[in-house]
């Protein structure tokens, strides 16, 4: 079984499934609608490279998720996906993904899961002990007091690792 998000990378852009595609799949593929086998069933003539993971997730796919066009697929994958608002404080845990598309969100005591600053969103991360905190498509992560996990920048994202002063 593939992980969410999964998509195909073509010369003209990404291909991925939305909830509207699920009923077009045979029953044996419906429970893995986020997988590459299902994508190949819907797009049999397209040549694409199989891709998955939040790091390089295409902007078009993130926009479809935010618009609610992939709610069924997301639920089936077992991931809990959130789009926090400006000023919110979050604490990501395992199987949780937070995608910040605008404004500033504070992430405190992240123990697992993923927190992504995307398209101009900003995440101020402190006391991260696990999981991934990433910046992509112009997003910014300001990280301090990190004891574990990863802070990653992709596709024009910026990570500012703030060194703690030792007293």
Domain ranges within the chain, ordered by starting residue: 6-77, 80-162
Provide the pairing of β-strand 13-15 with 6-10.
antiparallel
Q: Which residues of the chain have pLDDT under 50?
A: 165-167
Find, among 153, 94, 150, 144, the residue nearest to 118 by Cα.
Answer: 153
pLDDT the model gives residue 167: 45
pLDDT the model gives residue 1: 63
pLDDT the model gives residue 55: 75
pLDDT the model gives residue 125: 92
30 secondary structure, DSSP code: H
Provide the pairing of β-strand 114-118 with 89-90.
unpaired
Q: What is the pTM of this model?
A: 0.83
């Amino acid at each position: 079984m593939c992980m969410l998000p999964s998509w195909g990378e073509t010369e003209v852009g990404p291909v991925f499934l939305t909830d509207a595609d699920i009923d077009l799949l045979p029953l044996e593929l419906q429970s893995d609608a986020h997988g590459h086998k299902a994508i190949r069933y819907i797009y049999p003539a397209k040549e694409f490279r199989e891709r998955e993971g939040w790091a390089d997730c295409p902007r078009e796919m993130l926009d479809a998720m935010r618009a609610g066009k992939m709610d069924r697929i997301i639920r089936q994958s077992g991931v809990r996906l959130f789009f926090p608002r400006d000023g919110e404080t979050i604490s990501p845990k395992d199987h949780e993904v937070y995608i910040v598309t605008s404004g500033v969100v504070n992430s405190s005591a992240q123990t697992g899961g993923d927190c992504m600053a995307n398209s101009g969103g900003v995440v101020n991360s402190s006391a991260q002990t696990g999981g991934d905190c990433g910046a992509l498509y112009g997003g910014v992560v300001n990280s301090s007091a990190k004891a574990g996990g990863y802070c990653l920048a992709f596709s024009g994202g910026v990570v500012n690792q703030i060194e703690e002063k030792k007293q």
